[in-house]
Structure 1
Amino acid sequence: MGRWAHTWTAAPQLTEPDNLPPAPYAGSRVMADATLRQTVRISAGGERIRLRFSNAFGTTPLALTRVTVALPSGGRAGVSAVVPGTVREVTFRGRASAAAPAGAQVVSDPVDFPLADGAVLAVTAYLAEGQAAGVTSHPGSRTTSHLAAGDRTGNADLADATPVEHWYFLSGVEVEPAAPVLALLGDSLTDGRGSTTNGHDRWPDLLFDRLGGFAAANQAIGGNRVLGDGLGPGALARLDRDVLALGGVRWLIVFEGVNDLGTAPADGQESVTADLIAAYGQIAVRAHAHDILVYGATLTPFGGHSYDDPRGRREAARQTVNTWIRTAGAFDAVIDFDRAVRDPADPRRLLAPYDGGDHLHLGPAGYRALAGAVPEHLL
């Protein structure tokens, strides 16, 4: 049997009410009798693909009535039209439909569908019954999806579709032959808040554009924390599902922890800092057991953001964490994102051209700086 690589991923989350689709696609059965067209930009290309749909947070089965793949019009993300003649049926054990039980996922049969490195793929699914409860999604898609009534999986154009800025159910695209996989465990800074919608300028995208030669599995969740649940389960809780269960992972970059510091009381930083450092060690130990090289990234500045308390206790905690990342030797290598984007004149703040506007998240120029800070020899 051939080996597969995850060339695109979206970490599953429970869909909060504000991130459910708009009417008429919400209600007692979400997306009932609806077609959902989503575009994703892969990293490493291949000759065959297969899809993964997640029902990780569903409390009822997720029934996929029909699924197709195609090339999007113009090769662009976020469009509702696909190139006529490129539509291919996706099957599951030879059948057009499949159901993922509550809490589970479903993997499609392989589809002969050659894709070049960095290509954009359109995935269209029809849900006749919809889902009653517990919709699984990835809200921080930075990519436009489209919803239309009825079974439109074979249609080239969904001109009357409703746009929505989320991914639903689709959690992975795999390619064969396999490339070595780089997994990324992070929060909104890796999920791409502040990047361009449909622009593919998150730092992992830009890193792939710069170096290539690997498949990128971006398993970041905006608002995520390492120690406890925030938006999505904490990194320690989701490490097995989101990283270790992926086939072919050779490297893991851990760039997460700012939300642990920022949401903890300012006068309780000593405790959370010690727990965060211990958690990094646990992530490294667990990944090393799977022969994965683990790279730790330093936490970037947040001076001027609400996380920045007047007495500077969270900034002091950030410095303590970064010193440990740089010097403790728990990681196989260190990627100094802090140094890459901080203001040399005021190191507790982001350099102004990199600041996405809230003094915590980056804009495209800042994400390009992060991508440029990853040493080529590490991959």
Structure 2
Amino acid sequence: MNRRAILATGTAAAVAAAFRPRSHPRPGRRWLPGWVAMPQLTEPGNLPPAPFTALADTTVRQTVLVRVPGDQVRVRFSNAFGTSDLTLTAVSLARPLGGRAGAAEIEPGTSHPVTFSGRPFVTVPPGAQAVSDPVALSTPGVLTVTTYLATGQPDTQITSHPGSRTTSHLLSGDHHDDPALPGATPVDHWYLVSGIDVHTAGDSTATVILGDSLTDGRGSTTNGNDRWPDQLAARLPIGIALLNQAAGGNRVLHDGLGPSTLARLDRDVLALGGATRLIVFEGINDIGTAAATPTAQQSVGDELLAAYDQIITRAQARDLRVYGATLTPIGANTSYDDPAGLREQTRQRINTWIRASGRFDALLDFDAAVRDPAAPRNLLPAYDTGDHLHLNPAGYGALARAVPLRLLR
């Protein structure tokens, strides 16, 4: 009897069996997040270009880099900020041609259909997420996720991760199984996809990173995977996942581009199964967007220290070790530096607390790793993108080298 017949005539037990994912776990293995992207509401300037703005009758092909070894994967899609149902009409997983991040083509013969509770489609309600059934595709490596949306999201409240630093491709019509997408429109954003779970060895571990644009990789190479978490991961043995839950413009205390760190801690850290460590490298946007007055800077400093304490308390209650990273220089940045140096004083106050309070389980001194010894308020010129705030790939490499590997083993 096929599944449709079971649904029409079967018992509740038969229905449940019909939609049971066809997973065959191996002893000593478990599911672990292997890649994530922080979901946020797409700003108007980062929406898909016309005629794809609502993603209706659109194929979206995206690539992600998974560094954890495994024999099966599951894909996560988020409708966290949608105000209408998100229907994924068809989804496939494959390997990109040549293993290249950002490739529009897939390796022939590697496409696998993706199902959800046994069905080839899924409807994700507003605010929810969907996790696919397991797909027999080995990792590590770059994976291609191709999604076809027949109806799209007419309200354009699309959940995305704009700072992908990875090229995706949009094409009208259903091409989710096509090996190439000739004429597709490239965009440097991720839409809807928010995670890859890996069925991996039981001794694999995951570390979550909370951050802003300095962790999201502004200044890194598009399709180069040379953000500082990427460069750190390349130094580590396989089986250690670094989960980059950062977004440009993000703040600890208040919503900015995406929910505040305090608001998203449960969703982006505590709800991730298998994570054992947390790195906190965030706060410079709170300091930089607060007024350059003594009262405002005193207040933001007080609130940031209280927020760090809350993050540590909540994470340690879930048995995570929490590592604090000092905030990197802002000297000469036209938006954040101020003539009286009030924001610099707050940055130094925060860094002194991170170094000396003993509240974090370990210190990552990113400030010392990238500041100019001759002008400690500033980034070392060799690491500066030119805006005196963000780092180039060499600077991100310096951050990666500042993390003692023993903390992640």
Q: Same fold (TM over 0.5)?
A: yes
* Equivalent residues of 1:6, 1:216 under 8 A apart: no
Measured in 1, the distance between the counterparts of 2:80 and 2:138 equals: 29
* Equivalent residues of 1:75, 1:120 under 8 A apart: yes
Question: Secondary structure of 1:44's match?
Answer: strand
Give the equivalent residue in structure 2 for 1:341.
Answer: 370
Give the equivalent residue in structure 2 for 1:151.
Answer: 174
- 2:100 is the alignment partner of 1:65: no
Find the partner of 1:275 among 303, 313, 327. 303
* Equivalent residues of 1:72, 1:83 under 8 A apart: yes
Aligned residues: 374
Question: Secondary structure of 1:43's match?
Answer: strand
Amino acid at match of 1:24: P
Question: Secondary structure of 1:3's match?
Answer: strand
- 2:143 is the alignment partner of 1:121: yes
Measured in 1, the distance between the counterparts of 2:122 and 2:291 equals: 46
**Equivalent residues in 2 for 1:102-117 (5 A)?**
102-116=126-140
Find the partner of 1:311 among 319, 340, 343. 340
Question: Secondary structure of 1:211's match?
Answer: coil
Question: Secondary structure of 1:210's match?
Answer: coil
Question: Secondary structure of 1:122's match?
Answer: strand
Find the partner of 2:312 among 275, 279, 284. 284
Question: Secondary structure of 1:195's match?
Answer: coil
Measured in 2, the distance between the counterparts of 1:216 and 1:376 equals: 12
Measured in 2, the distance between the counterparts of 1:126 and 1:22 equals: 16
Moved over 2 A (4+): none
Measured in 1, the distance between the counterparts of 2:182 and 2:378 equals: 45
Amino acid at match of 1:125: T
- 2:279 is the alignment partner of 1:253: yes
Runs of 5+ consecutive residues of structure 1 not aligned to the other structure: none
Which protein is bigger by CA-based radius of gyration?
2
Measured in 2, the distance between the counterparts of 1:60 and 1:347 equals: 49
- CA deviations over 1:7-41 (Å, ceiling 9, x no partner): 11000000111110011111xxx111110000011
Give the equivalent residue in structure 2 for 1:161.
Answer: 184
Measured in 2, the distance between the counterparts of 1:249 and 1:161 equals: 37
Q: Indicate the percent of aligned positions where both proteins have the same amino acid.
A: 63
Find the partner of 1:3 among 10, 24, 30. 30
Question: Secondary structure of 2:235's match?
Answer: helix
Amino acid at match of 1:321: I
Measured in 2, the distance between the counterparts of 1:23 and 1:281 equals: 45
Question: Secondary structure of 1:92's match?
Answer: coil
Measured in 1, the distance between the counterparts of 2:246 and 2:286 equals: 15
- CA deviations over 1:169-200 (Å, ceiling 9, x no partner): 00000101152111000000000000000000
State the 1:132 CA deviation. 2.0
**TM-score, with structure 2 as normaliser:** 0.90
Measured in 1, the distance between the counterparts of 2:321 and 2:336 equals: 31
Measured in 2, the distance between the counterparts of 1:243 and 1:221 equals: 14
- 2:345 is the alignment partner of 1:322: no
* Equivalent residues of 2:105, 2:180 under 8 A apart: yes
Amino acid at match of 2:37: A
**TM-score, with structure 1 as normaliser:** 0.98
- 2:43 is the alignment partner of 1:19: no
RMSD: 0.8
Find the partner of 1:241 among 244, 267, 284. 267
Question: Secondary structure of 1:40's match?
Answer: strand
- 2:65 is the alignment partner of 1:50: no
Amino acid at match of 2:288: G
Find the partner of 1:92 among 98, 116, 135. 116
- CA deviations over 1:316-368 (Å, ceiling 9, x no partner): 11000000000001100010000000000100000000001100000000000
Find the partner of 1:296 among 316, 319, 324. 324
Give the equivalent residue in structure 2 for 1:266.
Answer: 292
Measured in 2, the distance between the counterparts of 1:24 and 1:323 equals: 51
Find the partner of 2:216 among 191, 195, 200. 191
State the 1:43 CA deviation. 1.9
* Equivalent residues of 1:44, 1:216 under 8 A apart: no
Measured in 2, the distance between the counterparts of 1:196 and 1:357 equals: 15
Amino acid at match of 2:332: G
Question: Secondary structure of 1:216's match?
Answer: strand
Measured in 2, the distance between the counterparts of 1:249 and 1:104 equals: 21
- 2:172 is the alignment partner of 1:131: no
Measured in 2, the distance between the counterparts of 1:336 and 1:378 equals: 13
* Equivalent residues of 1:39, 1:143 under 8 A apart: yes
Give the equivalent residue in structure 1 for 2:407.
Answer: 378
State the 1:3 CA deviation. 2.2
Question: Secondary structure of 1:229's match?
Answer: coil
**Equivalent residues in 2 for 1:169-208 (5 A)?**
169-178=192-201, 179-208=204-233
* Equivalent residues of 2:165, 2:222 under 8 A apart: yes
* Equivalent residues of 2:250, 2:285 under 8 A apart: yes
- CA deviations over 1:63-112 (Å, ceiling 9, x no partner): 00000010001100111000000000000011100011100000000001
Measured in 1, the distance between the counterparts of 2:50 and 2:342 equals: 45
State the 1:4 CA deviation. 1.0
Measured in 1, the distance between the counterparts of 2:31 and 2:332 equals: 44
- 2:396 is the alignment partner of 1:367: yes
Runs of 5+ consecutive residues of structure 2 not aligned to the other structure: 1-24
